[in-house]
Amino acid sequence: MGMPQILESTPRIRPTPAPATNSIGAFLFDVDGVLADTARLHEAAWRRLAIREGLSLDTDTARSLRGLSRSDSLRRVLGQRRVTQHRFNELMEQKNCDYLRQVEQLTPTDVLPGSSELLEELPGFGIRVAAVSASCNARPVLDRLGLLDRFAAVVDGTDDVSTTGHRFLSASAVLRVEPSRCVVVEDSTTGAAAARQFGMKCLGLGDATALCMATMVFESLRGVDARSLLRWLTRTPH
């Protein structure tokens, strides 16, 4: 028998696979409502302020405050009520002091189920992690939860970045992972929309209707392992 014919198209050397540019390189975790149930603490502090001020705050409006800045939240709480700039600042300060008193009570046991495990597993898959929040209190919250040193970057409301989307972009730049390879983990409609607007995938946590912009939605991170999550996210197109 002669030598097997080598077909023209048969590569003799296996080509080096192209770099996996579409692979996931970073997770950007929102803080309030994702790592801890602090969205509930924000909401409760706004409710107490509304009661003190004799304002009515219905459940839908209270829910819609998730992901909004402190000033945008107060505008929504005030509704038609007009106040001076001085009073507006006083009210923001009151709400913040109230909220910070609740933050002081947080401990590592308040980390939401599944988040800690995921933060621990992801680096093993070569994934970089950042915390991204509109809150000026994100660092104290992460500190109380014992999570501060888990993140390669923290971009929050104290940084000179004006919108949620720009905070995501800033985190992607700090981590040196292009936006298309970033996954944002978010519980708010605003956050999910901003992530998609800037070409990032979004893992929504909570109500599927409110998070219809997200790439996929889970009720929570409980029981979600990094390997399966990465497989699902990689297979789901942008």
Mark residues 109-138: x for contact with ligand G6P by CB under 6 A, - for none.
------------------------xxxxx-
Q: Closer to Mg ion by CB, 116 or 234: give it.
A: 116
Answer yes or no whether residue 189 interacts with ligand G6P by CB under 6 A.
no
136: nearest Cα among 109, 155, 116: 155
Task: Give whole-number Cα distances, 120 to 125, 126, 127, 128, in Å.
Answer: 10, 12, 11, 11
Binding of residue 156 to Mg ion (CB under 5 A): no
Residue identified by tokens 């999910």 is 192
Whether 170 and 140 have beta carbons less than 8 Å apart is answered as no
Pattern of binders to Mg ion over 29-48, x per CB under 5 A?
-x-xx---------------
Provide CB contacts within 8 A for 60, sequence distance 6+: none
Range 187-206, binding Mg ion (CB under 5 A): 187-188
Which sequence positions are flagged as catalytic? 30, 32
CB 165 within 8 A of CB 191: no
Site string for ligand G6P, 39-78 (x = CB under 6 A): x--x----------------------xxxxxx--x-----
Residue nearer to ligand G6P on the CB measure, 190 or 215: 190
Give whichever of 23 and 150 is closer to Mg ion, judged by the CB atom: 150
Two structure tokens written together for 12? 């003799």
Give the HSE-up count for residue 188: Cα atoms under 13 Å, Cβ half-sphere: 25
Instruction: Tell me: does residue 201 bind ligand G6P (CB under 6 A).
Output: no
Token pair of 152 as six digits: 């390669």
Binding-site member from 123, 140, 157, 199 for ligand G6P (CB under 6 A): 157
